[in-house]
Amino acid sequence: MFWTYFITVSICLAFVAFSCYPVWPQSLRKGMFYVTASLASIIFGFILLRCLLFLVVWLFSGIHFWSILFSSYHLSKLLSFAFRILPNIFDDSLDITDSFSPVFFFNIFPIFLSYYKMYG
């Protein structure tokens, strides 16, 4: 019961404190700007890292790269897969704990499985 009261009072105090933002001293305003800019930079960097990692794995494992390099359609199908870090992070239908699971996602495309059944 203590934690319920503590969280309720904390939320109320935080609301009042942020409502009084125009009367904050300049140093607190600048500090809040730095905290907000830092968090936004971290989130943007994480999104950029996810996209770049997915792009690298997709380029070096997909049909387009291997078929150009080796001119072999079967080899390109054999090496088709996807890798993602935190695949559920932008899913709005999940709660906060489910957004961070699984940590990574590795998927072998069905083309690989049909190739393995035919030739493997």
DSSP 102: S
**Residue 99 DSSP one-character state:** H
Residue type at position 36: T
If you average pLDDT over every residue of the chain, what do you get? 76
Q: Which of 20-29, 38-47, 94-103, 107-116 has the lowest mean pLDDT?
A: 107-116
In sequence order, the 6+-apart residues with CB closer than 8 A to the CB of 57 are 81, 82, 83
pLDDT confidence of residue 27: 94
Residue, of 99 and 112, whose pLDDT is higher:
99
Which pLDDT score, from 0 to 100, does residue 102 have? 78
97 domain residue, yes or no: yes
Task: Give the angle subtended at the CA of 20 by the CAs of 18 and 26, to the nearest 5°.
Answer: 95
Residue 4 lies in a domain: no
On whether the CB atoms of residues 62 and 82 are closer than 8 A, the answer is no
Q: How many domains does the chain have?
A: 1
Residue 46 lies in a domain: yes
Smallest CA-to-CA distance from 52 within 83, 14, 20, 19 is with 83
Q: Answer yes or no: is 44 within a domain.
A: yes
* Cβ(67)–Cβ(76) below 8 Å: yes
Tens digits of residue pLDDT in 69-78:
554 444 444 5
110 is a domain residue: yes
Structural domain boundaries, residue 44: 27-119
